[in-house]
Chain A
Amino acid sequence: MTAFANLATTREIIVCCGTGGVGKTTTAAVLAIEAARRGRRAVVVTIDPAKRLADALGLDALSDEPKLIDQQTWNIFDRDPARSGLAQGTLSALMLDTKSTFDKLVHEHAPDEPAADRILDNRFYRNISGALGGTQEYMAMEKLHELHTSGEFDLIVIDTPPSRHALDFLDAPERLMRLLDNRMFRLLMMPTKTYLKLAGAALQALLRTVSRVVGREVVDDAIAFFQAFEGMEQGFRDRAAKVQELIDDPATAFVLVTTPRRDAVDEATYFAQRLESNGLQVAGLIVNRIHPEFGSESPESLRALAHGNAAILNLADFREIAIRERETLETLTARIPSDAVGYVPLLDEDVHNIATLATVATHLF
């Protein structure tokens, strides 16, 4: 069994990280499909707003709830006869909807319906749920927790947003708590008279300033939100701790996805360092879009021989790419030691349908 097949059959959560355009979404789908083919109940979660996974799986739209994908659609990974006819499991997919996940969380922790509604109707809340940096990542982890505790899935594969912020989910629980813990707003949550006494002139001046810039309404909304939020805080805090446990769980694997380009490799290295500083390990490394080798001659000697022949000069160019890519990959594997390393060549067609996902799979399993 290959290292990736091992990950797909033994882990409970796989988080795919990487910068944009490296094939993260397709990698996530391929891992989930392989797990399903090996008898597991797998679900793939994407938080990529570009709906690429939906395209790849032939779905018109993914919903916020796991949607079972017809086995006929995904079980065509049969190019290798030894691997055909394995499918016993199920495959589901969902697209994260940050706001509805957050709404659900509020309902769960609010003491009663009116309290929940007060928060859901608050303009400040509506902005938090859509715009606060890290909220999307936090809700991704929340969804992960929800799917994990539902017991409906053996493996959850999650695709992260295509940016450096992708790793914000590592800090997301803490970050949200920090916002809710904000000292200034904790003071605001106190009954008016006490707050006035405690807050003092400095805070009031600050608030006046903020009101002057953004308008009094905005400040009032924020105060109303923090007041409504009081009492729910402990629930949120407990949940954040559980989410953190899930991230740290040995059954959770982080797979870095990259291409052999230097910028992508630099990003992958940065991701690996971030994981490491959080005490987490890279369980797998997948390099997509590798150019063919085209032999072993040096570009320089080919160019010297070419005498202007376009085909030979072209060969020299491709040899040059292959050599550069190999150097970059050596740097990568030296920087990020991993038991599982997968190399996927640049394919003849774009990976946007199940047939091409199957081709990717042949290079990993």
Chain B
Amino acid sequence: MELRQFCSQSRVVIVAGKGGVGKTTVTAALALAATRAGLSALICEVEGKSGLAAAFGSDALEYDELHLDDRLTARTLAPDDAMVDYLESHGMKRFSHRLAKSGALDVVATAVPGMKDILVLGKIKSLEQLPAADLIVVDAPAAGHAITFLLAAQGLLDAIRVGPIRKQATEVVEMLTDATRCQVMLVTLPEETPVNELIETAFAVEDRAGVALGPVVVNGCMAPLRDQPDSITSLMAAGFSLTTSTQAIEAVAFRSSRHAMQEIQIARLAEQLPLPQIHLPQLLTAAIGRAELNKLADAMAHQIELLQ
């Protein structure tokens, strides 16, 4: 599929997955890939703690949009900010700060299940309507919470019968359940437990929240070596020392065993979840910076083009 077409399928893509699978880097890679197709992209951080800003060499993200790169901006969507924003834009400016300061906001948010989630999703919806960018990529809360997050609007419709929040929830449900407006991209690692959890999350997102799933991203894939040397002897014959040759063969074996283990999990995922997969390489670095994000964006763009 053409990259630009892929990134235009829905204006909002919510990236979800359990902690530690690289949700934030996938979010950044997708947004960067979109900008390469000539689109503008906005990254929204819901939990607001990620190393995204640091990876771009930028200051910490704030509620106001921050410019990261050509056609690429990012912002946080912390629930408290979203709540104040909501009150202000609904003619309650006078109360918003008082509510926030008195702690009454906590009480109100507690009184209404999913209130904070709905405010965040409502804000995403208003960014979508503007539209704030050609593609809005949302770095969702970690796994278990992602489902609660996506179900918040429906839960709220059951709890609240009238008023502006109900209207907000209705509009959010409309957006979430319309595949041409919003999709969820699930991220996992090619390992046993993350794959199990991804499968559970996938069914919950589709069946319970009614949100369309885009391709699944398998992050941290170790590519096999294309050119496998035979043995220590052949390396030594090529002029490498015994130590280097031995270590090189050990490293090759290590890589092959990791790869084989991952292949089993990738195959199992394909069998249990009939969704296209995007494989991103494991980066052999201890930290993610701009160069690494570029590599991931390249890989993402390439894999998208391979999709049917």
Contact = CB atoms under 8 A, between A and B. Distances in A.
Nearest to B95: A209
B193 A213 contact: no
A219 B110 CA distance: 11
Interface in A252-277: 260-264, 266
A320 B165 contact: no
A263 B288 CA distance: 9
Given A215-B162, A312-B248, A260 B286 contact: yes
A19 interface: yes
B162 A315 contact: no
Interface residues of B, number: 68
Contact of A310 (B18, B189, B229, B285): B229
Interface stretch (B68-76, B96-104, B207-215): B96-104
Interface in B77-112: 87, 90, 92, 95, 98-99, 102-104, 106-108, 110-112
A315 B241 CA distance: 13
Given A182-B107, A292-B254, A214 B286 contact: no
Interface string B206-241: 000000000000000000011111000001001010
A162 B286 contact: no
A206 B99 contact: yes
Nearest to A56: B193
A112 B135 CA distance: 56
A320 B51 contact: no
| Main SS at interface, chain A | helix
A305 interface: yes
A318 B193 CA distance: 25
Nearest to B229: A311
Interface in B267-308: 284-288
Contacts of A19: 19-20
A215 B287 contact: no
Contacts of A183: 102-103
B92 to A, nearest CB: 6
A182 B103 contact: yes
Interface residues of A, number: 67
Given A182-B102, A184-B104, A222-B111, A310 B226 contact: yes
Contacts of B255: 314, 318
Interface string B250-278: 11101101000100000000000000000
Given A128-B110, A162-B19, A309-B238, A52 B163 contact: no
A222 B112 CA distance: 10
Interface string A199-217: 0000001100110111101
B114 interface: yes
Contact of A164 (B49, B114, B143, B285): B49
A297 B244 contact: yes
Given A130-B113, A309-B229, A318-B284, A206 B252 contact: no
A180 B162 CA distance: 27
A311 B225 contact: yes
B287 A324 contact: yes
Contacts of A218: 108, 111-112, 159-160
Interface in B1-25: 18-21
A324 B285 contact: yes
A320 B257 CA distance: 19
B296 to A, nearest CB: 15
A22 B192 contact: no
Interface string B163-184: 1111000000000000000000
Contacts of A350: 191-193, 261
Identify which of A52, A128, A212, A292 gathers the most chain B CB atoms within 10 Å of its CB: A212
A343 to B, nearest CB: 15
A205 B255 CA distance: 66
Contact of B252 (A217, A263, A314): A314
Given A311-B251, A352-B192, 13 more contacts: A20-B142, A163-B142, A178-B103, A184-B104, A185-B107, A206-B95, A210-B99, A215-B161, A215-B163, A263-B287, A294-B251, A295-B244, A297-B247
Interface of A: 19-22, 49-50, 52, 55, 123-124, 127-128, 130-132, 162-164, 178-179, 182-185, 205-206, 209-210, 212-215, 217-219, 221-222, 260-264, 266, 292, 294-295, 297, 302, 305, 309-312, 314-315, 317-318, 320-321, 324-325, 327-328, 348-350, 352
26 contacts: A55-B196, A127-B111, A131-B113, A164-B47, A210-B99, A210-B104, A213-B90, A213-B92, A213-B108, A215-B160, A215-B162, A219-B111, A261-B287, A262-B286, A263-B51, A263-B288, A264-B20, A297-B244, A309-B238, A309-B248, A311-B228, A318-B251, A318-B254, A318-B284, A321-B284, A328-B287
CB-CB nearest 6 A-B residue pairs = A21-B20, A20-B19, A324-B286, A262-B287, A310-B227, A49-B144
